[in-house]
Chain A
Amino acid sequence: GENVEQHPSTLSVQEGDSAVIKCTYSDSASNYFPWYKQELGKGPQLIIDIRSNVGEKKDQRIAVTLNKTAKHFSLHITETQPEDSAVYFCAASANTGGGNKLTFGTGTQLKVEL
């Protein structure tokens, strides 16, 4: 089955700096890669996603890149703000017979310091 590895497990940056979180996946059939932000006491919130036919996607301060050959994808947050502090999860999914399960990475605790 799919295995997703995520690094680093914790990341501390100064406000205004950039943050980068990296993930690798094992199943070459995976074709969908979402990123979720989870704040304390809340459910995961989708912040950006990318499909395997695209190499890069950007939404304001957030961007995701995908390298299918190397089986890795990354989340980039620029101009970080204190409200970006949260746990971020990457995930991978392969559509198999209509099944859509997400396999998650282990999460990155991002702390943006003033």
Chain B
Amino acid sequence: DSGVTQTPKHLITATGQRVTLRCSPRSGDLSVYWYQQSLDQGLQFLIQYYNGEERAKGNILERFSAQQFPDLHSELNLSSLELGDSALYFCASSPTPGQGVTDTQYFGPGTRLTVL
């Protein structure tokens, strides 16, 4: 158990809908990362937040957005869902943003999103 929690575990929805995935980082970790894992794209970085502020952005679609709240939990919002958005979505956390030193990232169990 990494200490990172994600809810829900599974999510089934229809095209065009909007969903919210939730992540609670390990106790004391200030950075939260979101990754998408699909069969054709592998594990892809989406976005990083540090202490409530966006720190790095990857291949995140404009239909997707994220935020980190004062209690450090994070939410990933996916809107206007398409069939191709079906994937595993992982959250990871690390202690600091890594001022000159890259932090170890610990992954949660993931949310499996199925878009029908």
Contacts and interface: CB of A to CB of B under 8 A. Distances in A.
A45 B97 contact: no
Contact of A102 (B45, B100, B101): B45
B55 A99 contact: yes
Contacts of B104: 34, 46, 49
Interface of B: 2, 4, 31, 33, 35, 42-45, 48, 50, 55-56, 58, 90, 94, 97-110
A45 B102 contact: no
Given A43-B2, A98-B55, A99-B56, A104 B48 contact: no
A42 interface: yes
Contacts, number: 76
Nearest to B109: A43
24 contacts: A34-B104, A42-B109, A43-B107, A43-B110, A44-B43, A46-B105, A89-B43, A94-B102, A95-B102, A98-B98, A98-B99, A99-B48, A100-B31, A100-B33, A100-B48, A100-B103, A101-B48, A101-B58, A102-B43, A102-B45, A103-B45, A104-B42, A104-B43, A107-B43
Interface of A: 31-32, 34, 36, 42-46, 49, 51, 89, 91, 93-107
- Select the residue from B35, B45, B102 with max chain A CB neighbours within 10 A: B102
Contacts of A105: 42
A19 to B, nearest CB: 20
B42 A106 contact: yes
Contacts of A106: 42
Contacts of A101: 33, 45, 48, 56, 58
Nearest to A99: B56
- Select the residue from A36, A49, A97, A102 with max chain B CB neighbours within 10 A: A102
